A and B are shown apart, each in its own frame.
Chain A
Amino acid sequence: MLQFILRRLGTMVLTALCLTFIVFFLTNLAPNLEKVAKTQGNARMSDQDVNSWLDKRGYLAPLPVKYGQWLGILPGYTHQDDDGVITGRCISKDNTAQTAPTFCGVLQGHWGLSTVFRKPVLSVISERLALTGWLMMWVMIVMVPGALIIGVFAGMREGSRTDRSLSTVSILTTATPEYVSGVIFIALLASSKFGISPLLNEWGWIETKTLFKGTATSAMKEITFVNFFLPVITIALYGMGYIARMTRASMTEVMTAQYIRTARLKGVSFPAIVMKHALRNALIAPFTVIMLQIPWLLNGVVIVETLFNYKGFGWTLVQAAGNNDIELLLGVSVVSVVVVLVTQLISDIGYVYLNPRIRIS
C-alpha cells in the first residue's frame, strides 16, 4: 500500500510539473508577452519599448530558465538599470538587492504578483479559494445525499415505475449544463417580472420582489438561503444525475446478488434488506464517482461564479486567463491540478480501502 501511494505521489508530481510547464509555455508565447507589456505599461509602446520593458522584468530569458526561476530551482533574474538601480525577481521593498534571497519561486513560497489584482498571488488565491470552498461545501451537502437517495430508490426495484421516473429525472439533469439550468432558474425564480416571484409577491407570501436573488455577490459577505440557493442548486443538479445513475447501476447489481436472495428467503423485510445488506455494498462504486466528480465541479464553479457574479476561484480563473495574468494563472492551475490529482488519489485509496476484494499486488 505504501509503495502504491508513493508511486502515485511520484506520478502526481511529474504530472503537476508537466502541466505547469504547458501553462508556462502557452502564457509566455511572444504575442501574449507583448499583450502583457502593452496592458501593464503603455498601449502605444513601440516594439523596442516592449522589448526593454520585458527585458527589465526578466521575461526575455529562455523558457526553461524562466520556468526554473518560477519554480525556485534557478536563481531569480536581476537587472541593472543605466543608473545602477538593481531590480529583480526576489527584490522588493523589504528586500534590497543585498539582502534578497537568490532563489525565490513556488518552492520557497513566492508565487509572484498578480498583475490584474495588484496583490501577491498567494493572497488572491487563498482569499478566493475560501469563497469557493463555501460554495463547494454547500454543493456537496445538497448533491451527495440527494444523488444517493435518488440512486438507491431507483435501483431498489429495477424496472418499477419509481425507477423509470427517477432515471428520467437523472438523465434530464445530466443533460442540462449549468449555463442552461442557471438561466432557467433565474427566469423562473429570481425575476421580478416573470416566473413565480411576481405571483408570490402579489399573494403576499414573500416581502421582497423576488423569491431568490439572481446574483450571489452579497453571499461573499454573508451567505443566506435567498442569495446562495440558486448557485448551489445549479451546480448540484448537473453533478447529481451522474452520481445517481452510478448509484442506481451499483444498487441494481447488488440487489440481484445471492446473499440478498438468501436474506429474502429467510424472511427479512424489504426495508431491512436494503438498509442492512444492500446499501453498504452498493455505496462503494458511487464513492469513487463522487471523488472523481470534484474536478468536474470545478468547471461548474467557473460557469456558475461567472453567471451569478460570485467572485471566487472560478471567477478569478476567468479574470486571470482573460487578461493573461501569467503568475496568477500559474497559481490557479497549480491549485486546480493539485485538487484534481489529490481527489484521484483519494478515490483510488478509498476504493481499495472500502472494497476488501481488491488488493494491490
Chain B
Amino acid sequence: MIHASSVTKRIKKQLILSNVSLCMEGIYGLVGPNGAGKTTLMKILAGLTPMDEGQVAIDERSCTKGKYVKAHERIGYLPQDFMVYPNITVEEALDHLALLQGMMDKGERHAAVAEAIQKVNLNGHETKKMSELSGGMRRRVGIAHLLTRKPSILLFDEPTAGLDIEERIRFRHLLKQLGSEHTIVISSHIVEDIEFLCTKIGVLKQGQVLFEGTPSELKSRAKGCVWEYCIHPEELDDLIATREVVQLLEEEDGIHARVFSKNGGTGGRRVAPRLIDGYLAVVRRGEPR
C-alpha cells in the first residue's frame, strides 16, 4: 500500500497538485482529464520529481527524504514511452539494466532476466533489437526490467495508450496477472481499462482529488443521471446536438444511445450507470471530495 498525504507541487507558481491525499492499494486507477496532474504525481511517487509539500509512505512507513520519495528499490515506474538502448537486443538491454541496478553476479543477473522475460511472455523475442519492437512489446520489456528488481509497487503511466486493440487486451491481462503479486497504480484516461483492471479508483482534476473509492462507488455518483434512448439513425444528429451522448450501440431495433443528463426527455428510460458515467458525474461536478 502506498499512501500520499497532502502532496503539493507548484511549477513556476502554477499549482500542479494541490494537497493530494490518496491511499493506493490493490490495482489502483488514477484517472482524470489531460493536465490533471496524473503524470506529475506518478513521477513524484517514483522519486523522479520533487514535491513542494507532503509525505509519501509505503506500508505505513514514510519514504520521503527532503522533497523526494526515496524508495527506488520498492517502487518500479514504467513511463508512457519506454525505450532504452535501441541498437542492442532485448536480452542485452535487460542484462545491462540489471547490472545498473547493482546485480553484480552474472549468473544471478541471467536468472533474473530469464524469469522476467518468462513472466511478461517475451520468450522468442530475446534476440530482437529494441528498435525492432512494437510499442506494446517495448512496454513488456519495461515491465520485465521492473520485475528483475522485484519491487512491491509498480507504477504504470498510460500503459495502454497508443496500443492497437489486440495488444491492449493482452496488456490488460498482463497487468491483471501482475496485480496478484504487486500493488499496481495505473494512470490512464481510458476508463475502459480502469473498469477492467482496478479495484480502487482516484479521480484527479486540475491537481485536486475529486473522488477516491471503489468502482461501484464511482458508478453510484451517476445514479439517476443516465438515460437510454432507442432512436432511428436520422434522429441521432438532433440528439447529439441537444444531449450529452456518452455511448452509441447499434441494435436490431435502432440505435441505443446512452445519455448523461439529470433530466430525461420523452422516450428515454433511466438505466444503471457505468463507470464512465460515474467518472463524468464526478468530473463535471468538479468540486473536491
**A and B interact physically:** no
Interface on B for A, CB 8 Å cutoff? none
